Amino acid sequence: MSNEAFAENLRLLCSYYASVSAVCRRLGMNRQQFNKYLAGHCMPSRHNLRRICEFFGVEEAEILLPGRRFAEIVELRPRSRQDWGEQPFHLQHVEVLRRLSGNKLDAYIGYYYRYFYSYGFPGRIVKSLLGLYRKDGTYYTKNVGILSDGSEERPYSVHFKYLGLPLLLNDRIFLLEYEQVLQDMVSETILYPAYRNRLDRLIGLQCTLAGRRTREPAAGKVVLEFLGRQINVRKALRTCGLFMPEERRVPASIVRQLDNHIRPEDFVLLVSEEGL
């Protein structure tokens, strides 16, 4: 690798932003270390090089090209304020949290079954499919499911899709989601991280609205069951739906973890680490 060529190209990319500090904040990188890259004193690790390239939207092979050739490539590509400019003020708060979260969620990328008691169908458990992925240096989630038990009494079904922004802060996973179709509902979920070497289940609490008519604030326990990084999504979706707790399609151990009863001494609904 050529330190001088990389440094020159990195300085060019940073020139499209208000400041180098703004770039470091959005990348979640140490300013002093980043200055060494800009000065050509050292090259980033393979991991950091990949992060830098994802952030600026260039290929690793391109950023190592001679400066003049790289400048030609950059000039030919369309740029938007979102991609190249400083973040608007109202988004800087999100950037602070994203920077603090860093790349800690890499270990959680993949697909999960999501279980929770339905807010609109009392006594039934919703089983949906959630995917956590990384794009351009930022983590996102997509949760899709269907509210249908397949019975003749309710021949109709309701599909839903939530998009979210996950963060890992101070040993807890925070997930802020919004309903994609009508865009009139936001939910927040807080999960315990995986303490074992093997990712199995994540348990926590989610808060949302009980229904579109009453729109009552409601909260309940939630369990995410890890499936893997690569799965057959269509096959997994076919197993999702609305189920009674005693049905075999919901593991008995997960039903126990979803128990929303409040002990008299607690006064509020708590999720204990003992349930992990």
65 and 195 share a domain?
no
- Taking the CA atoms of residue 185, residue 163, residue 170 and residue 201 in that order, the dihedral angle to the nearest 10 degrees is 110
116 with 205, same domain?
A: yes
Query: Residues 201-227: what's their mean pLDDT?
Result: 91
pLDDT surpasses 90 at 164:
yes
Instruction: Return the pLDDT at 54.
Output: 87
Q: Name the domain count of the chain.
A: 2
In a domain, 190, yes or no: yes
Asked if 243 and 127 count as a contact pair (C-beta separation under 8 A), the reply is yes
> Which residue matches tokens 């979260």?
101
Q: Is residue 15 part of a domain?
A: yes
Sign of CA dihedral 222, 109, 141, 113: negative
pLDDT tens digits for range 30-58 = 999 999 999 999 999 999 999 999 888 88
Residue-range definition of the domain harbouring residue 19: 3-86
Distance between CA 161 and CA 145 in Å, rounded? 7
pTM for the predicted model, two decimal places = 0.68
Confidence of residue 135 (pLDDT cuts 50, 70, 90): confident
H helices of the chain, in order, are 3-14, 20-27, 31-39, 46-56, 60-63, 67-76, 81-84, 89-101, 233-238, 252-257
Residue 97 counted as domain residue: no
Token readout for 117 is 């008691």
